């Protein structure tokens, strides 16, 4: 070792010394007189950055918390049109609204709540949870509630986003500006109103579940509930005790799953939450954090293992077994009535639509106060509804449990650097025709723009709050890159986004999602082919690993060395086909993602190593938000 060090630092030869002296002659001050600063310069100067977040639901609140802890010198503002935090859970307040994922799983990993009252929490409790998170993690002072975003435009010269906002209380309209724009408006907040002939002529009350009026009196009323999605399945058993009768209008059949947690008694009509946590249980969670962590992991393993992708292929043995299991559970809840089961059983594969446990729903259907109507509605009369077979059923109240409009493109004009409006380009029939994303977080031609829980924004398996945290962590990495390295802006290359779309299409090609059901999971592109818009093409663990290290080679930067302009497209510079002339063969050949993507599963997925896949959960109070999800082993 000594000889190596001596050789490395050997004295220069006389000729080397003379050469060095001649080089230093250009200095006006001798080297011996130059003062050296005690403090070295900062390698990565963290210039101030401002972020605007749209949406104060799960995505917006989690992004606000994590970005403020992961990015130094960052300020932010969160805008939301609602008067409360909570997004979906602030807007949907109909009787029986609750999450169909277990409470102790459906929470932010860094803010576990030991005091959930029920196994499936009511919506009001979830809204209060996110309100509390906003207060405890410093988000509240940055919230601007009752503020609706009207438009967003990228300012090319200034390298900023200009966000037009309306203060709903005063009516004032103003423009806010920021370096980065995070869109987290949610996916289920634009009610879908069916085109029912004569609806405006109805003399009774018409109400949508997503715009519920708590003053509506249902006592002893004849009620029509239209729709059997999650909201229809939840509201029906919850209003049943107070109404005189319910006509339940159903357009399509659906599977009703058991609870995700095995070993708990399935809920009845009288106990829609499935299990009420006792004070002793909650105290045990608080007093024994290690046991509470084990309980959370146990739940998460069951949830993850129960909904991972083993059953997701059309015609697979696993999918057939799932179907048999679902039908067996439904038959049991229908008291063994096979005729009822036949009326409810769909032809499509389970998983095509989101599976919902719907505690109490099947039990209510076979009761004396509900009529199940699967004949199409012809028109609405002044006093009720007429079906195609000519039958008229008079009602006092019509409840539209008809779900939501497509929530996978911007709700307001979002203008890119070329003047293209993403809210129009992504719609069916638009210039692109579907939400074209880069890894479900960014979009080509949209500098410094991110979204949370939008198209391709979550993998199947793993919960929504965890998916939001993964997205926020990736966004923090990208912002730090721009902030520390002196860039003004960043955007993914068009080809990188188009190649990712190929991965999405290939991954879901034989998926149950493409079976014959109507679902918000998918929409038609310009070709008319059904296209998955919700899912990331892989498991949650795959998504975590893919997003753990940004592929900087896929991006274009606005660099001071180029006059703060975006440099040439990285793919064009490499001599590849330009985005405008690419064919499907071009996109599949040498696809940057297909080289390593595999079947969308990691080694942990294949080994079904649920212990390792839940290693992101920690005990209460032991989370370092700066490092959370930053290191993936």
Would you list the DSSP string of 268-309?
Answer: -TT-TTS-BPPHHHHHHHHH-HHHHHHHHHHHHHHHHHHHSG
Confidence of residue 447 (pLDDT cuts 50, 70, 90): very high
**Residue 631 pLDDT exceeds 60:** yes
As a whole number, mean pLDDT of residues 37-53 equals 74
Inter-residue contact 82 to 91 (CB < 8 Å): yes
C-alpha span between 450 and 161 (Å, rounded): 12
Inter-residue contact 79 to 66 (CB < 8 Å): no
**Residue 81 pLDDT exceeds 80:** yes
DSSP one-letter code for 163: E
Percent share of the chain, pLDDT over 70: 85
C-alpha span between 319 and 313 (Å, rounded): 7
As a whole number, mean pLDDT of residues 587-613 equals 90
pLDDT tens string 208-224: 999 999 999 999 999 99
Q: Which residues, in sequence order, are bridge partners of residue 143?
A: 78
Given this chain, do its domains 49-190+406-612 and 199-261+308-400 carry the same CATH topology? Answer: yes
pLDDT tens string 489-531: 999 999 999 999 999 999 998 888 888 888 888 875 334 356 7
Specify burial of residue 378 (Cβ count, 10 A radius: 0-12, 13-18, 19+). middle
Least confident of 37-46, 149-158, 329-338, 412-421: 37-46
Q: Please tell me which of 40-49, 285-294, 526-535 the model is most confident about, judged by mean pLDDT.
A: 285-294
**Residue 33 pLDDT exceeds 70:** no
C-alpha span between 385 and 247 (Å, rounded): 10
Residue-level pLDDT at 189: 81
Residue-level pLDDT at 358: 86
Residue-level pLDDT at 323: 94
Inter-residue contact 453 to 467 (CB < 8 Å): yes
pLDDT tens string 357-386: 888 899 999 999 999 999 999 999 999 999
How do the domains of the chain map onto residue ranges?
49-190+406-612, 199-261+308-400
C-alpha span between 395 and 503 (Å, rounded): 49
Inter-residue contact 207 to 226 (CB < 8 Å): no
Confidence of residue 559 (pLDDT cuts 50, 70, 90): confident
The pair of structure tokens assigned to 349 is: 């594969």
pLDDT tens string 86-110: 999 999 999 999 998 889 999 999 9
The pair of structure tokens assigned to 479 is: 């912002």
Residue-level pLDDT at 405: 86
Give Cα 524 to chain centroid, integer Å.
20
pLDDT tens string 166-184: 999 999 999 999 999 999 9
Confidence of residue 417 (pLDDT cuts 50, 70, 90): confident
Inter-residue contact 503 to 591 (CB < 8 Å): yes
**Residue 10 pLDDT exceeds 70:** no
φ, ψ at 274 (rounded to 5°): 85, -35
Task: Region of 585 please: left (phi>0), alpha (psi -120 to 50) or beta.
Answer: alpha
Task: Region of 186 please: left (phi>0), alpha (psi -120 to 50) or beta.
Answer: left
Average pLDDT of every residue of the chain:
87
Pairing mode, if any, of strands 555-559 and 565-566? Answer: antiparallel
Pairing mode, if any, of strands 245-249 and 370-373? Answer: parallel
Residue-level pLDDT at 372: 98
As a whole number, mean pLDDT of residues 185-197 equals 91
- The b-or-e profile of 24-55 (16+ CB within 10 A means b, else e) is eeeeeeeeeeeeeeeeeeeeeeeeebbbbbbb
Residue-level pLDDT at 574: 44
49-190+406-612 is classed CATH 3.40.50.20? no
C-alpha span between 584 and 502 (Å, rounded): 8
Confidence of residue 406 (pLDDT cuts 50, 70, 90): confident
pTM over 0.75: yes
Q: Who wins on pLDDT, 295 or 269?
A: 295
Q: Which CATH class is domain 199-261+308-400?
A: alpha beta
Inter-residue contact 426 to 408 (CB < 8 Å): yes
Residue-level pLDDT at 268: 35
Within 8 A by CB and 6+ apart from 598, the residues are none
């Amino acid at each position: 070792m000594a000889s190596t060090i001596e050789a490395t630092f050997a004295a220069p030869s006389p000729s080397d010394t003379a050469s060095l002296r001649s080089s230093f002659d250009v200095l006006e001050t001798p080297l011996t007189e130059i003062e050296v600063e005690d403090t070295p310069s900062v390698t990565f100067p963290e210039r101030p950055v401002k972020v605007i977040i749209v949406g104060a639901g799960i995505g917006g609140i989690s992004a606000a918390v994590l970005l403020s802890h992961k990015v130094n010198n960052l300020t932010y503002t969160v805008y939301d049109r609602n008067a409360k935090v909570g997004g979906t859970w602030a807007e949907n307040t109909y009787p029986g609204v609750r999450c169909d994922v277990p409470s102790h799983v459906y929470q932010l990993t860094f803010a576990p709540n030991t005091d959930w009252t029920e196994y499936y929490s009511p919506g009001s409790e979830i809204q209060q949870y996110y309100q509390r998170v906003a207060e405890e993690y410093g988000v509240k002072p940055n919230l601007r509630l009752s503020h609706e975003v009207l438009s967003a435009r990228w300012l090319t010269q200034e390298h900023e986003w200009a966000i037009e906002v309306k203060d709903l209380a005063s009516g004032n309209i103003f423009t806010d500006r920021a370096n980065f724009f995070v869109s987290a408006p949610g996916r289920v907040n634009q009610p879908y109103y069916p085109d029912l002939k004569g609806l405006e002529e109805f003399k009774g009350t018409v109400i949508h579940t997503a715009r519920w009026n708590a003053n509506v009196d249902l006592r002893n009323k004849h009620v029509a509930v239209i729709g059997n999605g999650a909201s229809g399945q939840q509201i029906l058993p919850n209003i049943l005790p107070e109404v005189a009768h319910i006509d339940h209008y159903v357009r399509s059949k659906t599977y009703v799953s058991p609870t995700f947690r095995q070993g708990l008694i399935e809920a009845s009509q009288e106990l829609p939450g499935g299990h009420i946590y006792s004070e002793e249980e909650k105290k045990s969670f608080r007093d024994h954090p290690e046991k509470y962590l084990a309980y959370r992991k146990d739940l998460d393993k069951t949830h993850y293992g129960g909904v991972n992708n083993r059953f997701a292929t059309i015609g697979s043995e696993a999918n057939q077994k799932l179907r048999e299991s679902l039908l067996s559970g439904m038959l049991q809840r229908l008291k063994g009535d096979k005729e009822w089961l036949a009326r409810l059983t769909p032809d499509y594969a389970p998983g095509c639509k989101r599976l919902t446990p719907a505690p109490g729903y099947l039990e209510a259907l076979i009761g004396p106060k509900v009529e199940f109507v699967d004949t199409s509605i012809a028109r609405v009369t002044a006093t009720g509804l007429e079906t195609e077979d000519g039958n008229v059923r008079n009602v006092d109240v019509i409840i539209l449990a008809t779900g939501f409009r497509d929530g996978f493109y911007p709700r307001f004009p979002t203008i890119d650097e070329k003047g293209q409006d993403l809210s129009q380009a992504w719609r069916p029939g638009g210039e692109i025709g579907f939400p074209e994303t880069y890894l479900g977080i960014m979009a080509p031609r949209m500098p410094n723009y991110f979204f949370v829980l939008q198209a391709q924004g979550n993998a199947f398996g793993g919960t929504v709050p965890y998916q939001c945290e993964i997205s926020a962590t990736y966004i923090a990495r990208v912002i730090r890159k721009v902030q520390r390295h002196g860039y003004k802006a960043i955007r993914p290359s068009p080809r990188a986004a188009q190649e990712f779309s190929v991965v999405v299409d290939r991954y879901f090609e034989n998926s149950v999602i493409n079976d014959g059901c109507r679902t918000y999971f998918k929409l038609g592109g310009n070709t008319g082919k059904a296209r998955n818009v919700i899912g990331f093409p892989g498991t949650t663990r795959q998504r975590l690993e893919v997003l753990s290290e940004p592929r900087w080679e896929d991006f274009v930067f606005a660099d001071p060395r180029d006059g703060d302009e975006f440099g040439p497209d990285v793919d064009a510079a490499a001599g590849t086909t330009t985005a405008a002339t690419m064919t499907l063969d071009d996109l599949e050949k040498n696809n940057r993602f297909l080289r390593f993507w595999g079947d969308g599963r990691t080694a942990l997925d294949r080994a079904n190593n649920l212990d390792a896949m839940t290693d992101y959960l920690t005990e209460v109070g032991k989370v370092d938000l700066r490092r959370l999800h930053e290191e993936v082993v």
